[in-house]
Amino acid sequence: MAAIVDISGTYLPPTPPRTWNNRYYFVRHGQSKANESGLIVSGIEGLEKRYGLTALGVSQAHQAAKTLKHDMPDNARPLLISSDFSRALETAIILADQLQAGQPTLDQRLRERSFGGLNLGPSQHYKDVWEHDLKSASHRHFDVEPLFSVIARTTGLVLDLEAKFKARDVVLIAHGDVLQVLQTWFLDVDCRHHRYFPHLGTGQARMITQTLEGITSTVRLSELASPLSQVDEPRPRVLNSSMPSTGANSPVVSSSPTPSSTVSHSGSGPALSDIDEQQEDEESGWLPWIILTTAVLAVVVTATMFVRHRSHVRV
């Protein structure tokens, strides 16, 4: 199904399959030399060896392979699809060797999200882009690639894989933003909320679907790096409120059941439903005071008018 735009101009990604032909795993590349230097490398420079893995990144790739071996069934036939950027390719080669999966397939649709004018600048500016992401999936601030473009190319790849293969364990090796955004599609959640979900650290593996045997789908939380920012922000709602929090073909982002009307936030703070109830309690608590104040003002106004009338009559 092709992505469409509704009459309001809002981007609508293709609908995720109701049942999956394959299992999918995400692996973010190991630590790169750009990560180590605190640089954003999202342009064609990403193909260059000088932005490949650090020694730590190589170690992380080996650890990711162990995680995948643990999560995959014994009879798994891994299919590795990787971004062609050097940091992802080097990670994929290590995974292929450790998993005995054969040569990885390179696909440009898994390339890093283009950060436009921020390319080769300090990585602290990622957050500036994410703030705009919350407001619009089509924004191009700093000349970045809009979210709808990332969704369109990555979901196109997954749908191609679904059409071509069956009963395979597909490992997608790519980049932080690309995988975070694609994850929202698997979860049937508004892509603007991609940063509300557990962050994929460098070299981390995450199982996204495990539906061939009807097993409840989960996202691995055991190797997560740092939690999301603790800044108070509005919580996202799941677009499809009827989507069950558990059950076959329904990936979740928490090891515990999540209400279908809300999305779990890895930071501290009350749930969305608690906030709504608290607001209702506060509003109901103010109501008697508003009524009393209105009554007092009415009495004062009436008394003032009466006094003025009496004075006028005497004159």
Q: Report the distance separating Cα 219 and Cα 25, nearest Å.
A: 9
- CA nearest to 188, candidates 108, 106, 109, 258: 258
Question: What b/e sequence results for 96-121 when a residue is b if at least 16 CB atoms lie within 10 Å of its CB, and e otherwise?
Answer: bebbebeebebbebbbbbbbbebbee
pLDDT in tens, the chain (315 residues): 444 443 444 567 888 988 999 999 999 999 999 999 999 999 999 999 999 999 999 999 999 999 999 999 998 989 999 999 999 999 999 999 999 999 999 999 999 999 999 999 999 999 999 999 999 999 999 999 999 999 999 999 999 999 999 999 999 999 999 999 999 999 888 999 999 888 899 999 999 864 333 323 344 433 333 333 423 333 333 333 232 333 333 333 322 223 222 223 333 333 333 434 444 444 445 566 667 777 777 777 777 776 666 665 554
Q: Say if CB 5 and CB 138 are below 8 A apart.
A: no
Q: Report the distance separating Cα 124 and Cα 192, nearest Å.
A: 19
pLDDT value of position 311:
60
The dihedrals phi and psi of 66, each to the nearest 5 degrees, come to: -65, -40
- N residues, the chain: 315
69 CB neighbour count, 10 Å cutoff: 14
Q: Report the distance separating Cα 298 and Cα 303, nearest Å.
A: 9
What is the DSSP code (8-state) at residue 264?
-
Q: What are the beta bridge partners of residue 169?
A: 23, 78
DSSP H helical ranges for the chain: 33-37, 55-71, 86-99, 126-133, 147-164, 176-186, 272-314
